[in-house]
Amino acid sequence: MAITALKRIIKNGFLNFKRSGLVSWAAVLVVTITLSVITLIILLQAVLYFSLNQIKDKVDVTIYFTTNAPEDKIMSLKSSLEKLPEIAQVSYTSSEEALKLFRERHKNDYPTIQALDEIGENPLGAYLNVKAKEVSQYGSIANFMKSDNVLAPSSVSIIDKVNYYQNKLVINRLNTIISGAQKLGFLLTLLLVIISIIITFNTIRLTIFISKEEIGVMRLVGASKMHVQGPFMIEGAIYGIIATIITALLFLPATAWLGREMTDFLGINMYDYYISNFLQIFVILLLSGIILGIISSFLAVRKYLNK
């Protein structure tokens, strides 16, 4: 009995969609615009997080050691740092490698190379390059360096300097920018989704307004609320499904153009990102479209049921 009623509700939902004609397609268009906004937000967030990650990858802390620092002590410190949960990566550069890199970096600076040759020995010490998982964690790493007693046997420290303190202002500003960008992205997403829901809700109310006399007749003959609301909720789900397919297809050429023309500007190939995440994005759009259509239809038809 329940299955028969469900089939009837689904059938009536398709009939409502067909009978509303251009108004139904207008509702599909509005839901498509809503889903396009959601897709655009997903793509913009991908660009934002890619840019932030690129910036974060360029931020690090370098620990410079004295020229006479024993390598075993440096490697012991490296092992200690790698055990910290905040650490993403620690790379070691020996004094010989540091000298080689310095010479290569200043190969066109003749006075500097000449002065280095006149010294007759390597003035550079080894160093560790430390990358944290999050920009906000560099402070705790620097505090660890200050409090670690193993680094100073016989009260003689092997550390020359830690450049965190020279870069502290830049790191703190970057951390503020990242936090602010994430909050702004969330608020912008929430605002656009709310606006889209309001527009979709009002458009679906127009389709239901066309059927207000039919709703009145169904109430007079004693139809249950589910039998009245059900077909409109199915109709709303149809809006969502069709709009999802249209949106997914529209963004294929759009992201292909962005991938061809804007990769250098955006820093990420939007077409490759869209294709590699297509299933995930399609599911998000499908669920968003169906839920948006069903809830909007449910709320819109209540006005006529509560009269």
Is residue 107 helix, strand or coil? coil
The chain-wide mean pLDDT, for the chain, equals: 78
d(CA 113, CA 123): 12
Is residue 268 helix, strand or coil? coil
Of the chain, the percentage scoring pLDDT greater than 70 comes to 82
* N-to-C CA span, the chain: 29
What is the tens place of the pLDDT at every residue in 135-186? 777 777 777 776 654 454 444 577 777 777 666 676 677 677 777 777 877 7
What is the tens place of the pLDDT at every residue in 83-137? 888 888 889 988 888 888 888 887 777 777 777 777 777 788 888 888 888 777 7
Determine contact, residues 95/122, Cβ cutoff 8 Å.
yes
Q: How far is CA 89 from the centre of its chain?
A: 23
* DSSP H/E element including 136: none
For the domain made up of 67-157, give the CATH fold.
Answer: Alpha-Beta Plaits (3.30.70)
d(CA 213, CA 11): 19
In this structure, the number of other CB atoms found within 10 A of the CB of residue 213 comes to 10
- At residue 65 the predicted structure's pLDDT band, cuts being 50, 70 and 90, is confident
Determine contact, residues 302/201, Cβ cutoff 8 Å.
no
Rounded to 5 degrees, what are φ and ψ at 173?
-65, -40
Q: pTM for the full model? A: 0.66
d(CA 260, CA 270): 9
Long-range contacts of residues 89-96, Cβ cutoff 8 Å, at least 24 apart: 89/130, 89/131, 90/128, 90/129, 90/130, 90/131, 91/128, 91/129, 92/126, 92/128, 93/126, 93/127, 93/128, 93/129, 94/126, 95/67, 95/122, 95/124, 95/125, 95/126, 96/122
Domain positions in the chain are: 2-55+175-305, 67-157
- At residue 37 the predicted structure's pLDDT band, cuts being 50, 70 and 90, is confident
d(CA 186, CA 194): 12
Alpha-carbon Rg for the chain, nearest whole angstrom, is 31
DSSP 8-state secondary structure symbol assigned to residue 121: S
Token digits of residue 185: 């992205």
- Written as one letter, the residue type at 165 is Y
Over residues 193-218, mean pLDDT: 71
Nearest to 13 by CA among 219, 232, 206: 232
